[in-house]
A and B are shown apart, each in its own frame.
Chain A
Amino acid sequence: MQSEPLSFMGHARDRHRAGPIAGNGGLHLLFPAGDRSVRRALSASVAAFHDMGVDRDGCDFAELVLAEVLNNVVEHAFTDRGHGIIELEAWRAGNALSLRIRDDGMPMPGERLPAAQRHDLTVETHELPEGGFGWGIIHDLTRDLTYRRDGARNELTFAIDFTEFDAST
């Protein structure tokens, strides 16, 4: 899974070194920033999480969180040059999934982690928010959420506990 589908990227991947978990039962993906490649990465990730023994609820939440994180990168990190590469690593640590997402795009505003927006949903229908749900979802479903600007790269790390969700559903 690591290299065959990526030959089209040429030397782009040489700038990204695989983390310690690649080839060690973990997941390591490199893919271009785009809606369709995000879909493929999510599909591959969910299959890998399932193989790691993550339960159905854990897979659902992990897919949702990853979708929000990756969509955010696609929409905001490469608005200057219009293309870029995303690196995703995931591994299981006990009953948690650890994830690290890196990209070589523009930094987050202020080089800080965006806060969750909490919307007032009691407003009239025409005033309801049509966006801004993403970081709320990410904050709510993860722990140890950390953003770091590392040279020319963004790095987001977090964990998702997948046993807690059983009790709440």
Chain B
Amino acid sequence: MELGIRDTGDTRVVHVGEARIDAAVAIQFKDQMRDLIVGGPDRVILDLSAVTFVDSSGLGAIVAAMKQAVGPQQLELAGLTRSVAKVFALTRMDRVFTIHDSVDAVLAGPANAE
């Protein structure tokens, strides 16, 4: 599945280039995310701005990815579309993740001011 990588300072932005994170791709997504997180920069931002559909399998894979971030590492989310935000709200996972409006908002934020 198409994941675009952009490293800026200590932040890695992973852009999901597909419209769906669902049962058909959840395992693949989880495996690819693990490779991008383990040994990667401390801050990983998952850019979901192109994703219009996440089901519970996809949600589980995103949670699994977050659990790969250990020690100083953090996985945060950015750019949730309306329908994807609904799934996070329904399952209350919006309280578990740090969610930013957009990748631009993250990179312009205080954490990257230096």
Contact = CB atoms under 8 A, between A and B. Distances in A.
Interface of A: 35-36, 38-39, 57, 60-61, 63-64, 67-68, 71, 74-75, 121, 125-126, 128-134, 136-137, 140-141, 169
Nearest to A61: B86
Given A63-B53, A67-B55, A71-B57, A35 B63 contact: no
Chain B contact residues (Cβ within 8 angstroms of A): what range? 20 to 34
A39 B57 CA distance: 13
B91 A74 contact: no
B56 to A, nearest CB: 4
In terms of DSSP, what is the predominant structure of the interface of chain A? Answer: helix
Nearest to B20: A39
Given A61-B86, A128-B66, A129-B60, 11 more contacts: A64-B83, A64-B86, A67-B22, A67-B53, A121-B96, A126-B67, A128-B96, A130-B61, A130-B64, A133-B59, A136-B90
B87 to A, nearest CB: 6
Contacts of B38: none
B24 A137 contact: no
Contacts of A132: 56
B23 A67 contact: yes
B93 A60 contact: no
A141 B56 contact: no
Nearest to B95: A121
